[in-house]
Amino acid sequence: MSVKKHIFVVGLNEFNLHRLKQLRGVETCEFHGVIDPAAVYETEVFDIDSMLKEATAHLEAHEGNIDAIVGYMDFPVSTMLPILCERFGTRTTSLESLLKCEHKYWSRTVQREVIPDFIPAFTAFDPFDDDALVKISDAGLYFPFFIKPIKSSGSRLGFRIDSPEDFYQAIERLRAEIGLIADPFNTVLEQARLPPDIAAVDGHFCMAEEIIGGWQCTVEGYVFDGEVVSYGIVDSLRYPHVLSFFHYRYPSGLPDPIQRKMTELTATVMQHIGYDNAAFNVEYFWDEVQDRIWLLEINTRISQSHCDLFAKVDGASHQQVTVDLALGKRPDMPHRQGRYPMAAKFFYRVFFTDAVVARVPDADEIAALENEFPGTVIDLQVTEGQRLSELPEQDSYSYALAYIWMGAQDETALLANYERLAEQLSFAFDDIIS
């Protein structure tokens, strides 16, 4: 008789529990939630100390083995995992190696040591320093450039800066809002052994970087006992003329030599960082005009957005990777065994400054659409009466009303099906500020 494995998932919700139960080899696994999912999904206020104490108490109260502690979310979950795993003797990468990915300034300095030709010019700056713009210029960065916090989530508080006016408008928002992530991130930094030059750049700092762009994609991978494995590349396609994502598409349409080079760069940088026994993804741009690859950023988790894409195309959500690694096993990830040759996650958005949601599609309407387009999953992100500006984890230019996962035989069919579906989604708004 097989011994049951107890796997604890930080922020586990029903949507992802359903996914986890469909993985290969989990018949003898029991999944337990740690921390209410609303505490990590539905707020931007994170008391890391309290969350760690709550998680620790929950785990200590468990009668039986603690075989794995996992998560599939960005901050704060990703940064809590190494701390919890060290306390309870389960497998994941070290806190320092994780921070070499998540602390954007530390990450760039480490990348520069091994792949300097594939990263943009950069400098850290203090947004509360009135001379910050002068210091950015002194560091050799001139308009246009991009700024973002040294720890952020998604595209939040990221701005393209084309003029001093743009900079000071962005600084006003950064000063008002950066503490939401900076304060809890500093709590994590206090538990790590940081070099002095990195310790001086805490969570309230920002990054200024040379503008990079092109065809954006994400290399999904993992490290198992020191071996770096990349198992899929997902394209990230934006709405025309804005920074907001339109859809993620798998498999990638990038030329094979570009995909191979990205895989090679990924192995080089992840080995140099010392990342081990955990999943990751690395975002890149391919500037087709210059035929140049840029590393955008490293994330210390699978992309939750890509789970259904891998299930549709390869035959299993890549949560398979997270669970297998946490149990000390080489991931049992299938390849091209899914129902569809191509899949995408679409972001159904509005480009308002603000509004109040007056109507959303009801359950019957959603079920009818999912039935009309087999394999489709629609996940609404708003409720009636909700003010859009109160939604967490949005970019600086739009609001995502729904996530829609679809599979198809090819790109043409995929886009055509989405357009037909989107036309039938019925939302209404009051108090629109355009």
CA neighbours within 13 Å on the CB side: how many for 393? 14
Encoding tokens for residue 417? Answer: 């099906």
Please check whether the domain covering 215-433 is classified as CATH 3.30.470.20: yes
Q: DSSP assignment of 204-264, as one string? A: T-EEEEE---SEEEEEEEEEETTEEEEEEEEEEEEPTTSSSEEEEEES--S-HHHHHHHHH
| The overall pTM is greater than 0.85 | yes
Residue 137, pLDDT score: 97
So what CATH class is 121-210? Answer: alpha beta
Strands 5-10, 29-34: pairing kind: parallel
Residue 397, pLDDT score: 81
Q: Name the segment(s) of the chain with CATH classification 3.30.470.20.
A: 215-433
| Alpha-carbon gap, residue 125 to 133, rounded angstroms | 9
CB 69 within 8 A of CB 92: yes
Per-residue pLDDT reduced to its tens digit, 205-231? 999 999 999 999 999 999 999 999 999
Residue 1, pLDDT score: 56
Tell me the CATH number for domain 5-94. 3.40.50
Cα dihedral 334, 339, 342, 343 sign: negative
Residue 392, pLDDT score: 82
Partners of 245 in the beta sheet?
A: 238
Q: Name the segment(s) of the chain with CATH classification 3.40.50.
A: 5-94
Residue 43, pLDDT score: 80
pLDDT tens-digit profile, the chain (434 residues): 568 999 999 999 998 999 999 999 999 999 999 999 999 887 878 999 999 999 999 999 999 999 999 999 989 999 999 999 999 999 999 999 999 999 999 999 999 999 999 999 999 999 999 999 999 999 999 999 999 999 987 667 889 999 999 999 999 999 999 999 999 999 999 999 999 999 999 999 999 999 999 999 999 999 999 999 999 999 999 998 887 999 999 999 999 999 999 999 999 999 999 999 999 999 999 999 999 999 999 999 999 999 999 999 999 999 999 999 999 999 999 999 999 999 999 999 999 999 999 999 999 999 999 999 999 999 999 999 999 999 987 877 899 999 999 999 999 999 999 999 999 999 999 999 98
CB 166 within 8 A of CB 175: no
| pLDDT-above-90 percentage for the chain | 91
Residue 40, pLDDT score: 86
Q: How far is CA 416 from its chain centroid?
A: 27
Task: Say which residue the tokens 């030329």 belong to.
Answer: 255
Q: Name the segment(s) of the chain with CATH classification 3.30.1490.20.
A: 121-210
